[in-house]
Amino acid sequence: MTTTLLFKIVLVCLLLFIIFNLGRAMIIMVKSDDSVPMSRYLGRRVLVSVLVVIALVVAIGLGWIHPNPTPH
């Protein structure tokens, strides 16, 4: 398995984890359940989002992925 493919798989898993945490926060918000604070899941989402951005910057810097040169 190449480094590029492995990086992309990890990136997709992190993005799915972000969506999962956002859904968990929504469920807690709708149910008004005070046993677990909603900020726990939102904080995890923000932390993982920052990790994704850092990972993308590092991957571009190392040449593992190449951004689209023309945005249109």
Q: Is residue 26 part of a domain?
A: yes
pTM of the model: 0.77
pLDDT at 57 over 90: yes
Q: What is the pLDDT of residue 14?
A: 93
**Domain enclosing residue 38, as ranges:** 11-62
Task: For residue 8, give every residue at least 6 positions away whose Cβ sits within 8 Å of its Cβ, in sequence order, or none.
Answer: 65
Q: Which of 3-12, 17-26, 63-72 has the lowest mean pLDDT?
A: 63-72
Q: Is residue 72 part of a domain?
A: no
Q: What is the pLDDT of residues 22-31, one digit of tens each?
A: 888 888 888 8
pLDDT at 72 over 80: no
Q: Which residues of 1-32 are buried (b: 16+ CB within 10 A; e: fewer)?
A: eeeeeebeeeeeeeeeebeebeebbeebeeee
Q: What is the pLDDT of residue 61?
A: 92
Q: Are 26 and 41 in contact (CB under 8 A)?
A: no
Total domains in the chain come to 1
